[in-house]
Amino acid sequence: MKKILISGLLLIFSLNIFSQSNEDCFSNLSIFAEYAKVKNYNAAYEPWLKVKAQCPELNSAIYIYGERLLKNFIKISEGVEKDKYKEDLLALYNEWLKYFPKSKSGKNETGKILAIKAQSMITYKLANNQAIYDVYDEAFNKDPKSFKSPKGLYNYFKIYFNLYKENSSNVSLEEVFEKYEDLSEKFEFEMEAYTSKLDVLLKKEENNDPISSRQLRNKKVYEVNMVACNTYLNNLNAIIAKESTCENLIPLYRKNFDKFKSDAVWLNRSASRMDSKDCSDDPLFVELVEALHDLNPSANSAYYLGLLNDKKGETKLAIDFYNESIALETSSLKKAKTLYKIALKFKKSRQYSQSRKYALKALGFQPSMGKAYLLIGNLYASSANKCGTTQFMKRSIYWLAAKEAKKAASVDASIRKTANKTALSYNGRAPSKTDIFSEAMSGKTISIKCWIGKKVTVPAL
């Protein structure tokens, strides 16, 4: 009986201690979080340390706000104290991964957290290139779904490229190209996700359907992310540009062709790289394309066959292959991308009507493709002298070109600045108010013949 009584008293005592400890944890969490929200990090520090030590699994705010807190102290500290906070920050990321690898909704965030950790290692110079690369690589391989920061993906490749450039590195040029393809495809995947969501909202606007304030906020988020992806992908391309020359690509792909001629992924990537770097005149390109099409007829292989026939002057056969490429493609966004590439090929061969036709088809699949509108505007501007019968009519075509550039700016934030500048430039070449007055053309409609076949209304004075 006495033992039972003592056990009961010990249990009650333990529960009281646990209850008190639990209360302390919630109290410290509340105090620290409130101070952290208003950036009073000095007041937040002590309760943050207590809650992190006593109940690290209580709330993800311990790590989200804790990161901000430590970064602030790193910024304002010097010497040994600064180094201590840097070490604490790295330890915090490890604890974050241990206690909160998932979001509140249950989604894995391991890749995201590891990428944030790697970025801090770069920012605060906490490790060498190899150690930073290892963290990025772990993020990309363990949880690529949540590792989608454009800056992080760019730095992942940049660090790897730096390793390739180091004298002691074992990274080969071929491995650099493979890493580039992996990451450029990841960028494309993320951009497609944002584009799909953005296109839905653009169609709503075009149809004058009601759009909620939340959808408008989401639209801005999608646009910001698209701009970031576009910027960092361009930076990625700039890094690889000096290495991915025809002089480097052709010998490398020739050396590996027999080894990989049954690998559809390798063949597709090699053909794509040679096409983008204008190496498609080399006989190796023909071999790559034919091997790819024999192995796995696809949208890409059909496109490349169209390109080959285009170069031979077999325009009809080229168009047949281009159309086959579109038919084989299942993704609307990839259809748009291919159609745009075809439009560019026709522009290059000065087949402007065909170029516009394919650019419009691309917009049918991706309304947010601003570069397609810019292309059409450029086609009009390039035809101004040929498609006008009078000087006033020739210059009036620039109004059509400016209209397309403005459309580009309205639908695509990633090229908005360029599109607005282009529209301004086209308007500057159009008839002035003085010209309109002297020609007595105010408010009149002009029919543009030639391949353009459009009407343009002169601005009323």
In this predicted structure, what is the pLDDT of residue 242?
Answer: 86
Residue with tokens 């969490």: 29
Percent of the chain with pLDDT over 90: 74
List all residues 6 or more positions away from 416 whose beta carbon is below 8 Å from its beta carbon.
Answer: 370, 409
Tokens of 416: 């908005």
Is 448 a member of any domain?
yes
Is 432 a member of any domain?
yes
Percent of the chain with pLDDT over 70: 95
Name the residue among 245, 247, 201 with its Cα closest to residue 221.
201
Partnered with residue 446 across adjacent β-strands are 456
Name the residue among 167, 183, 314, 356 with its Cα closest to residue 175.
183
Is 10's pLDDT higher than 80? no
In this predicted structure, what is the pLDDT of residue 20?
Answer: 52
Is 430 a member of any domain?
yes
Residue 190 has a CB neighbour count (10 Å cut-off) of 19
Number of domains comprising the chain: 1
Q: Are 345 and 315 in contact (CB under 8 A)?
A: no
Is 422 a member of any domain?
yes
In this predicted structure, what is the pLDDT of residue 21?
Answer: 65
Is 320 a member of any domain?
no
Is 88 a member of any domain?
no
Distance CA 130, CA 324 (A): 45
Q: What is the DSSP letter of 108?
A: B
Tokens of 49: 């340390």
Torsion, Cα 37 41 45 51, to 10 degrees, reads 10
Strands (E) located in 380-459: 445-448, 454-457
Mean pLDDT is lowest, of 85-89, 158-162, 319-323, for 319-323
Is 376 a member of any domain?
yes
pLDDT-based confidence at residue 22 (cuts at 50, 70, 90): confident
The model's pTM is 0.81
pLDDT-based confidence at residue 137 (cuts at 50, 70, 90): very high
List all residues 6 or more positions away from 393 whose beta carbon is below 8 Å from its beta carbon.
Answer: 446, 448
Q: Phi, psi at residue 456, to the nearest 5°? A: -130, 130
Range(s) of the domain holding residue 397: 369-461
Q: Dump pLDDT digits (tens) for 49-107.
A: 999 999 999 999 999 999 999 999 999 999 999 999 999 999 999 999 999 999 988 99
Is 238 a member of any domain?
no
pLDDT-based confidence at residue 27 (cuts at 50, 70, 90): very high
Q: Dump pLDDT digits (tens) for 179-213.
A: 999 999 999 999 989 999 999 998 888 888 888 99
Q: Are 140 and 147 in contact (CB under 8 A)?
A: yes
